[in-house]
Chain A
Amino acid sequence: MEVTDQLIDHLAKLSKLSFNAEEKQELKSDLQKMISFVEKLQELDTTGIEPLTHMGYSDNALRDDVVKGMVSREEAMLNAPVKDDQFFKVPKVINPQ
């Protein structure tokens, strides 16, 4: 599996990360090493083995659905970097340009 510039760009987009040219080169070589390393898994025959999807003790932990509060609005907004007294504020979702 070869790590190409296109793959790096695609993954950066999925990750909501951006990299300059120099970082991209370094990342390309690092990811190439990391992916070659994990490719070792292909050597194992896992036919018929169910993939493990849960580590918990039981599949379901059921409880009654009770309405209760957890945090106040003030607490919930305490750490917001940009806000008014009721809302989290964000830049325009769609930039008109």
Chain B
Amino acid sequence: MFRFTTIKDYHNALLNGTTTCVDAVRFYTQSIKDQQHLNAFLEVFEEEALAQALALDNQRNGSIQGKLHGVVVALKDVICYKGHKVSAASRILDNFTSIYNATAVEKLLAEGAIIIGRNNCDEFAMGSSNENSAFGAVKNAADETKVPGGSSGGSAVAVQANMCMVSLGSDTGGSVRQPADFCGVVGLKPGYGRISRYGLIAYASSFDQIGIFGNNIEDVALTLEVIAGADEYDSTVSTDAVPEFSELLKTEDKKYRFCYFRQAFENASLDVEIRTQIEVFMKTLTDAEHSVEIVDFELLDFIVPVYYVLTTAEASSNLSRYDGVRFGYRNTANSADLSDMYTNTRSEAFGKEVKRRIMLGNFVLSAGYFDAYFTKAQQVRQLLINQTDQLFNNYDFIILPTSPTTAFSFGAHKDPVEMFLADIYTVYANLVGIPAISLPLFRHQNNMPFSLQLLASRDSEVSLLCVSQNLLHQKRDR
């Protein structure tokens, strides 16, 4: 039977002839069928994936062509794959077919990856529990009464429950790291501008970043290496040469300078056991002669408000394109004029959370409130960036929990603000544009996984991945 550990091992097995790409695709499509009730996939491209696998098996002649040769990848339903449906888990994009590939997808395909299907998520990536999908919630495979986290819940579960090798999600305020935490897999959000956003359905453009879910750091590093880099269709991408992340991964014997925020660990919302286990872990870091220092971060209470002002403002603008004219759903039944048609279409086809955020976004952007809310939030964002730059003068990495609790039950957070606060530890990295990773190091006594979040300065993905590799190995060896 097919068994997956790392892409490297898989490639070796292909070369040895002990497995084939077709075996891999068959294994995953069967696994998806067997676990359909988890609702992690909105669509599976089975026949096409099999045909691709067969073609790869036939062309392979004693050598592996393509860094992701035969690697089975799932895409969050916000990433465009030419000729395939993409819906942002919304009724408003019902029956929408991509007419081009996202740059990340183009790069995956060029290196021989096989796209197996599209993953369920919160509508327009807005949510922290995957309960906002127009196509039903996703279940956490570790405990099916619990949410998988959001918004990239389906992509996290796809890796967690062996339904693909790696998956792509998007992370605007934690949407990769938090579901990775809830599901016990690795989740990376690269720094802003590392991966092109072309073909990623926009939520909040100055925050959005494609992220990667995997079983281990090697696979995540290799995938990042493939999909990162300059793109003529996204001018916000770094034009620097892309480091060979997978080659640069080494278990180096280096002493790092870590810091952690007093206000984050003393926060009343943080689960006591999560706090204790991370503190014990930090002790092992100091025992290994790394330095770990506590620092004050007075702005912690402001980051979730800043995040919601700015992202809803950007969302209200980005989502104005869904008007029923050029694509997507249209209400044709009872619209007297054009303006009516817009309103009827949007009111019918957007879900509740999306409407709430559009309303809040239009509030903070509207005359009379713009300066007090929107401009104010932009100032606080600048303040956060200044403080972050200073921090990284003294430290290599920041340690944070990923989420204040382990995966919660369905329906646990009815209040929108309560749900917002679940993002307290993740939105910071998006506000300041730095890379951050969620490492599945812990298990709670309630038997759910949880992770350590590490943040590094902008452009420091290499050292972030190296230290992550070290910490995961250390944990395994102990």
Contact = CB atoms under 8 A, between A and B. Distances in A.
A94 to B, nearest CB: 7
A3 B17 CA distance: 67
Given A17-B350, A18-B344, A27-B356, A56 B380 contact: no
Interface in A22-42: 27, 30-31, 33-35, 37-42
B383 A57 contact: no
Interface string B308-329: 1100000010001001111111
Contact of B96 (A56, A75, A79, A97): A79
Contacts of A78: 97, 99
A57 B99 CA distance: 29
B347 interface: yes
Contacts of B416: 30, 33-34
B99 A41 contact: no
Contact of B382 (A11, A27, A38, A49): A49
Given A57-B193, A88-B325, A90-B341, A82 B330 contact: yes
Interface residues of B, number: 72
Contact of B330 (A15, A41, A81, A97): A81
Q: Mostly helix, strand, loop or mixed at chain A's interface?
A: loop
A85 interface: no
Contacts of A56: 193, 235-236
B336 A97 contact: yes
Contacts of A10: 366
B355 interface: yes
A97 B238 CA distance: 54
Nearest to A13: B343
Question: Counting chain A CB atoms within 10 Å of each CB, which of B305, B309, B329, B330 scores highest?
Answer: B305
B236 A57 contact: yes
Q: Is the interface of B mostly helix, strand, loop or mixed?
A: helix
B387 to A, nearest CB: 11
B377 interface: yes
B378 A53 contact: yes
Contacts of A76: 99, 326
Nearest to B193: A57
A78 B341 CA distance: 20
A93 B338 CA distance: 5
B356 A30 contact: yes
Interface stretch (B34-42, B273-281, B357-365): B357-365
A38 B310 CA distance: 10
Nearest to A3: B363
Contact of A80 (B235, B326, B336): B326
A16 B339 contact: yes
B118 interface: no
A91 interface: yes
B342 interface: yes
A88 B79 CA distance: 25
B302 interface: yes
17 contacts: A18-B344, A19-B355, A33-B417, A37-B308, A38-B309, A40-B302, A41-B309, A49-B380, A50-B379, A63-B232, A78-B99, A79-B97, A81-B328, A82-B332, A91-B336, A92-B336, A93-B337
